């Protein structure tokens, strides 16, 4: 069985980048200086992931999971909304009546700096984080983005789906069938992952496996791995380090879950964070990622 390691969604900014973003907001540094701070942090993230097959830029310049799409489509960022049961917030996007978008390439250059693995909002979560966006619209937009990223060498796409699992909403998964079919048509060879976090994935798995995805991501701070059924030929993305808590995992605390998962014979395994890493300070996030690399190599 192939075992990979990946980031999950938005990664923590380093302390120097944090200071630079604050300084930029207060007009204390220029756009160029801010960009240099980003570049330094991107390089650090590349170094951290050196040798990994699944590499991401950590979405360091994303404000939240949907905001970059405002720039692409002209949608307006709305009021701050609590991001699930966390002390973080996002802005719901308000889409105009007709969905149009600008040129993908320059936009994607800004928001997908490097990597082989892209994180995108899953169609249902996208509609829940926006007003006036249909599942079909979300799928059409994502299809364009996926199509472009394929040309740049991305081969693995994680569609982040916290809403359906938080709501325990199996119907939402059924409703995404045509959206995922459209996405799959655009990228028949790509690896698709439907990534759940902030809820117990087990009850939703039967519906999730009906979608044309290669793997499902599960948040092990909510999910008992013993309850997971994995059909032949499908993989799992295991959120096996808690990205909402700074306590560093040890081999002992992950041993039992890993043993159970291996006994289910998934086609491949991706070891990752339980949710986005940005809930952690950078040093802690880096330590958790290194731990994933360690256990993947055992």
Partner 1 sequence: MRKPLLTHEIGSLAKPNWRVKALRNLPLTDQDLEEARAWARRLDLEQDAEELFALLEKREGFTREEKRTLVAWASRFAVRLLEKAGLDVVYDGEQHRVEMYEYPIRRIQGFEFRGHVRSFDNKYYRKAAVVEKPSVTQPYHLEEYQTIARYATRPVKIPITGAYTLVDWSFDEYYLQRTPIGTAEGLRLRKEARRTFLRDVAREVIYPNLKALVEAGADFLQIDEPAATTHPDEVPDFVQATIDSVGDLKGRVTFGMHICFSDYSLLMPHLRELEGVIHEMHFEYANRDSREPGVSPEVRVGYTKTLNLLKDTRFIVGLGVLDVHTNFIEPVELIRDRILYALDVIQDPERIYVAPDCGLRTRTWDVAFAKLRNMVEAVEQVKAKQGL
Residues of this chain that interact with partner 1 (CB under 8 A) are: 12-13, 15, 18, 21-22, 24-25, 63-64, 80, 82, 85-91, 220-226, 238, 240-242, 245-247, 249-250, 252-257, 260-261, 278-284
At its nearest, how many Å lie between partner 1 and the CB of residue 90? 7
Handedness of CA 13, 14, 15, 18 (dihedral sign): negative
Q: Nearest 5 degrees, angle CA 280-CA 283-CA 286?
A: 85
Q: How far is CA 95 from CA 99, 106, 121, 230, in A?
A: 7, 21, 15, 37
Q: 7: closest CA among 296, 232, 227, 285?
A: 285
Which one, 1 or 80, has the nearer CB to partner 1?
80
| Structural contact between residues 295 and 254, judged by C-beta atoms closer than 8 angstroms | yes
At its nearest, how many Å lie between partner 1 and the CB of residue 164? 18
At its nearest, how many Å lie between partner 1 and the CB of residue 290? 16
Which one, 54 or 241, has the nearer CB to partner 1?
241
At its nearest, how many Å lie between partner 1 and the CB of residue 25? 5
Which one, 50 or 85, has the nearer CB to partner 1?
85
| Structural contact between residues 66 and 129, judged by C-beta atoms closer than 8 angstroms | yes
| Structural contact between residues 288 and 20, judged by C-beta atoms closer than 8 angstroms | no
Q: If you ran DSSP here, which 8-state letter would residue 276 be given?
A: -
**Torsion-angle region of 230 (φ positive above 0: left; ψ -120 to 50: alpha; else: beta):** beta
At its nearest, how many Å lie between partner 1 and the CB of residue 224? 5
Which one, 8 or 116, has the nearer CB to partner 1?
8
At its nearest, how many Å lie between partner 1 and the CB of residue 151? 31
Instruction: Count CA atoms closer than 13 A to 223's CA, side-chain side.
Output: 36
Which one, 23 or 136, has the nearer CB to partner 1?
23
State the pairing for strand pair 191-195/235-241: unpaired
Which one, 65 or 142, has the nearer CB to partner 1?
65
């Amino acid at each position: 069985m192939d075992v990979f390691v990946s980031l999950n969604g938005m990664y923590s900014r380093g302390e120097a980048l944090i200071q630079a973003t604050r300084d930029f907001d207060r007009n204390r540094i220029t756009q160029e200086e801010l960009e240099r701070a980003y570049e330094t942090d991107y390089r650090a993230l590349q170094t951290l992931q050196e040798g990994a097959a699944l590499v991401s830029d950590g979405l360091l310049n994303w404000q939240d999971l949907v905001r970059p799409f405002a720039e692409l489509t002209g949608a307006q960022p709305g009021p701050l909304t609590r991001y699930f049961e966390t002390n973080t917030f996002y802005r719901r996007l308000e889409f105009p009546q007709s969905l149009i978008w600008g040129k993908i390439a320059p936009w994607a250059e800004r928001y997908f700096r490097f990597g082989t693995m892209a994180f995108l909002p899953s169609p249902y979560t996208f509609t829940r984080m926006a007003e006036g966006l249909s599942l079909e619209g979300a799928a059409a937009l994502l299809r364009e983005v996926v199509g472009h990223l394929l040309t740049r060498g991305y081969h693995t796409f994680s569609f982040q789906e916290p809403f359906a699992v938080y709501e325990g909403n199996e119907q939402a998964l059924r409703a995404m069938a045509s959206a995922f079919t459209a996405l799959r048509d655009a990228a028949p060879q790509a690896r698709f992952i439907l990534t759940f976090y902030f809820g117990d994935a087990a009850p939703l798995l039967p519906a999730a496996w009906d979608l044309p995805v290669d793997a499902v991501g599960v948040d092990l701070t909510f999910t008992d791995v013993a309850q997971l059924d994995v059909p032949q030929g499908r993989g799992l993305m295991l959120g096996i380090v808690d990205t909402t808590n700074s306590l560093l995992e040890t081999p002992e605390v992950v041993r039992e879950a890993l043993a159970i998962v291996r006994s289910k014979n998934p086609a491949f395994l991706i070891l990752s964070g339980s949710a986005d890493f940005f809930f952690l300070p950078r040093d802690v996030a880096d330590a958790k990622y290194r731990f994933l690399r360690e256990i993947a190599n055992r």
